[in-house]
A and B are shown apart, each in its own frame.
Chain A
């Protein structure tokens, strides 16, 4: 099957809450331009970044699906994954943290991929195809930390939010469910019956992958999102699914 892309309104990531500026709009075909990787000339590359001295708690050490780690209505269960929790999962986050991220026009983003879970920063969707999502990145790629402390340290060293980083408190780094993207789980879904799929997870990952590919100018992935492709039409169908209904 050839890769390709869908258009139209799609849902954000693991959305259990009203999306704020969720990545719910895809670019129109032909408008997809490689986003500015925002690689500052004075920034160190990945090999030069510090972090080994950090002692932050590793996110999701058992590599569980992110969906399983979201708080219940009664709050986060401290007994989950061996009693190890992270503030990053402690949704809903406080008013002060919300104001901080909204004022900075950036959000902490969680990604689970390739057996690991980590945090990065990205601008929210702005529903403007001429201005794409920015990530915490340089010419080495998108930088992802496996702990809250690691993310703050990364933000001090690279990317467009270095001035902001000194004001990021660990307790601010609570990831909204719509900014959790479980790429690993999406692939598991595609090996199961579609009755069990979570369409908001799939379309959220779909949007995330597209923005990441645009930002990094990964042409072979961006190409897959062309509207004439069967893959695109397939993902548009997924966006119309309701879990568990036939």
Chain B
């Protein structure tokens, strides 16, 4: 896959949806981490 076709493929996605999906993943993972000093 060329750089250009990868960029074109990404441009076809709604980045707001990608952002929201990653925010969900972030929150779920964060809830499974136990923090220590």
Using CB atoms and an 8 Å cutoff, list the residues of chain A in contact with chain B. 1, 3, 46, 49, 51-52, 54, 56, 58, 111, 113-114, 116, 118, 140-147, 150, 153-154, 183-184, 186-187, 190-191, 194, 209, 212-213, 216, 218, 220-221, 224, 230-231, 233-234, 237-238, 240-242, 245-246
Whose C-beta in chain A lies nearest to the C-beta of B4? A246
* Cα distance A124–B19 in the bound complex, in angstroms: 28
Would A140 and B34 be within 8 Å (CB), given that A238-B10, A240-B3 are in contact?
yes
Partner of B34, one of A52, A144, A246: A144
23 A-B residue pairs with Cβ-Cβ distance under 8 Å, sorted by A, are A1-B17, A1-B18, A49-B36, A51-B37, A113-B26, A113-B30, A116-B35, A118-B33, A141-B33, A142-B32, A145-B35, A146-B35, A146-B37, A153-B36, A184-B26, A190-B22, A191-B19, A209-B29, A213-B29, A234-B13, A237-B10, A240-B1, A241-B3
A74–B37 Cα distance when bound, in Å, is: 30
Contact of A245 among B3, B28, B34 (CB under 8 A): B3
B31 to chain A: which residues have CB within 8 Å?
141
Interface class of chain A by DSSP: mixed
With contact pairs A145-B37, A238-B10, A241-B6 given, residues A216 and B18 touching in the complex (Cβ less than 8 Å): no
Number of cross-chain contacts by CB at 8 Å: 117
For the complex, count residues of B whose C-beta is within 8 A of A.
Answer: 33
B1-28 vs A, CB cutoff 8 Å, 1 = contact: the mask equals 1111011011101110111111111111
- For the complex of A and B, 10 pairs with smallest distance between CB atoms: A1-B17, A240-B6, A114-B30, A141-B32, A190-B19, A46-B34, A237-B9, A145-B36, A240-B1, A51-B36
Closest to B31 in A: A141
Q: Give the complex CA separation of A105 and B34 in angstroms.
A: 23
Q: Are B29 and A150 in contact (CB under 8 A)?
A: no
Least CB distance, B37 to chain A, in whole angstroms: 5
Q: Are B34 and A209 in contact (CB under 8 A)?
A: no
Contacts of B4 in A (CB 8 A): 246
Bound complex: CA of A221 vs CA of B31, how far in Å?
12
- Given A190-B15, A240-B6, A146 and B26 touching (CB < 8 A)? no
Is there an interface contact between B36 and A144, defined as CB atoms closer than 8 Å? yes
B37 touches A56 (CB 8 A): yes
A212 and B25 alpha carbons, distance in the complex (Å): 11
Closest to A191 in B: B19
Residues of chain A within 8 A of B20, CB atoms compared: 1
Contact: B34 with A141, CB < 8 Å? yes
Q: What are the residues of chain B within 8 A of A186 when measuring CB–CB?
A: 22
Q: What's the least CB distance linking A246 to chain B, in Å?
A: 6
Rounded to whole angstroms, the CA-CA distance of A212 and B29 in the bound complex is 8
